[in-house]
Amino acid sequence: MDAESLLDGLNERQYAAVTHTGGPLVVMAGAGSGKTRVLTRRIAHRVVIGDTDPRRVLALTFTRKAAAELRTRLRHLGLRDDVVAGTFHGVALTQLRQRWAERGITPPAILDRKYRFVSQLMGRRPGVEPLDVVSEIEWARARLVSPEQYPVAAELAGRTSPLPPAELAELIHRFAQEKRQRRVVDFDDLLALAARDLLVDPDYAAAVRWRHRHLYVDEFQDVNPLQHELLKAWRGQSSDLFVVGDPNQAIYGWNGADPNLLRTFTRREPDATVIDLTDNYRSTPQILGAAFAALGGRGGQMTANRSDGPLPTITAYASDHDEARGIAEAIRAAKTVDRPWADQAVLVRTNAQLVPIEQALVTAGVPTRVRGGSGPLATPEVKAELRVLGRSGGNLLDALRELDENLALAASKTDDLAAADIERNQNVDALSRLAHDYLTIDPSPTGPGLLAWVTTIAAGDVHLDHDAVELATFHGAKGLEWPIVYLAGLEQGFVPISHARTAEQIAEEQRLLYVGVTRAEHTLSLSWAAERTFGTRPAKRQPSPHLGALQAAIQRLDRGRWSVDWQTQVSRSRHALGTETAPTRPVTPFEPATTPEDQVLAALQAWRRNRARAADVPAFVIFTDQTLRALVQRMPANRAQLAATPGVGAVKLDRYGDELLDLLRQSTRSR
């Protein structure tokens, strides 16, 4: 393609991101804003104008599927397979294998499954799940936390250690030693070894950096500190770096990702340019209004480019059985000749919530598939319990009774359990529920009969290449979209999840809800159940505390405006939902600029416009909207406070600092 055609159809900010020259570029790309389009068009455009050799491009992402998507899009733009597009781990492994071959080193074995390895190191530890220990080892490595630092770092991060922290720290140390003795490496070692080789051998580093001189990173909010160290080693002193991400979709902090690496990028690199993509091409204005409310009105404000659609709905069901049946009925009603089943998806917070929904859909004759496998029935804990029940023969009732007693005992200790233990118990609860359903349909229930029945339910008689309604968790749905989306089980304890305790964990849960909402293109249905069955135990439930804000937003959207009296509106909505807790009032995009904060922002925007016209540059080159909002929030009173504001680097501080401080002082006096 020629350079001009590569720019066709881009909006102003996308155009600026594709054509930007000089220095690192950070693109803050909101949901549905065309981030992959910008990334691939930028690579292709630079190649076409002769600014880039495609063989020297390294585009990094986090999954093989995402990497394949990048390669496919680049191929459609005429770049064939010259560009290296891969995951951090994949590129690191390729680099290491080449170096080992050049130096005549026999490659170590790859430890792709740590469970058995860690189990052997632990020995028999009743009540301690090796998977939890593996998770902590991986979190510490991703965060560059040494064994000695682990106890303090875990406490600061709000981690629940499956072992006494000092004991787990010792286990982390032994794990590393044992790997060296056996000459095996895990995936985290690949990243660390690739970075080490670049740091200790300048000639080798120069060769690698020449090979990968144009760096692109997708989903930068998901980068962890270990990956970031490797990125810095690949980059060296080069300013040819493009990163794209969305702080509002940072949902992997529990796994070691550090979204602050994106949020604070300009503090580390003041010369970086930041471009915000705020035009959404996926969802209707009504869904974007709900998405903004899901974030509590703090960020995520986007402009819809689709025509109006139906208002999102919130439905309270008497029980989870009723909720599952209601969703099944709605899905059948939405199916038309022109609309395939695959246009619809049901999203939930945890795997265990998928079981009753999948049952209801199968009963209603709706083809389904569970993204990433068979949901909770494919987890190790459920498989283990299912094997026990399957071998029980005619003693199935006794085995099931013992299982239920154990679940009841675990439920009484929820406050003392680690997050992973709670989720495992919920998965086993789902199995217990299925087992009791089986008892009602088989007059002579047996263990083998239960095993066959559950296996049939899990399989659903649907293959992945068939047209089917998708079932997924919020995490599993990230990066996907459907015309019709049902968010189910929006209850306290699920949204937010019960084990989210720190402020950052709770904020991540809110971003996770935002991810769920923004998967919808046209129709969004939200629901919760006033009673939910765990195994054989019915439990009263409360709606998610976020539903009040969503209900208030829907009502204002219905009137065509946002109510100025936010607190009263939310209080009424929450009362109707059965709970009184009101969220913090957000600043909404639908209110006129009458608040003092809005007036300050308007003054800053006017100053920026004048500055941009005088310099004959786009406004975002002076300061981005994100930086202006940060100035309004912080209201810096001196140069030191101004320098600490995200997006205000040393160059811009010298150039605009005095003007900005004068403007902010005048605004303060007028408030």
Average pLDDT value over all residues in the chain = 86
Contact 88, 212 (CB under 8 A): no
Nearest of 471, 475, 557, 548 to residue 515 by alpha carbon:
475
Architecture label for domain 109-182: Orthogonal Bundle (1.10)
pLDDT at position 416: 57
- Cβ contacts of 139 within 8 Å, gap of 6 or more: 145, 159, 254, 255, 256
Q: What's the confidence (pLDDT) of residue 370?
A: 85
Domain ranges of the chain: 3-87+212-277, 109-182, 312-544, 596-670
Q: Taken in order 644, 647, 650, 652, is the CA torsion positive or negative?
A: negative
Residue 186, pLDDT score: 93
Same CATH fold, 312-544 and 109-182? no
Nearest in space to 603 (alpha carbons), one of 546, 539, 662: 662
- pLDDT recorded at residue 464: 41
Residue segments in the chain with a per-residue pLDDT below the cut of 50: 459-465, 562-570, 579-594
Any idea which architecture 3-87+212-277 has in CATH?
A: 3-Layer(aba) Sandwich (3.40)
> Is the separation of the CB atoms in 647 and 608 below 8 Å?
no
- What is the spatial distance between Cα 546 and Cα 538, in angstroms, rounded to a whole number? 23
The CATH architecture annotation of domain 312-544 reads: 3-Layer(aba) Sandwich (3.40)
Report how far apart, in Å, the C-alpha atoms of 167 and of each of 66, 108, 156, 205 are.
38, 28, 17, 38
pTM of the complete model: 0.74
Instruction: Say what angle helices 354-363 and 447-459 make with each other, to 10 degrees.
Output: 80
Inter-residue contact 351 to 497 (CB < 8 Å): no
**Tens digit of pLDDT for each residue in 424-475?**
777 788 788 778 767 755 667 788 778 766 765 554 433 344 789 999 999 9
Encoding tokens for residue 284?
């209707």
- State how far Cα 536 lies from the chain centre: 33
Q: Among all chains, which residue has been given the structure tokens 């101004």?
A: 642
Report yes or no: 545 and 583 within 8 Å, Cβ to Cβ: yes
User: What phi and psi, each to the nearest 5 degrees, are found at residue 5?
Assistant: -65, -30
Nearest to 345 by CA among 365, 363, 359, 366: 366
Fold designation for 596-670: DNA polymerase; domain 1 (1.10.150)
In which residue are the tokens 């969703």 written? Answer: 327
Report d(CA 622, CA 604) in Å as an integer: 11
Predicted pLDDT of residue 395: 82
Structure tokens at 68: 């394949």
Instruction: Find the radius of gyration of the CA atoms of the chain.
Output: 27
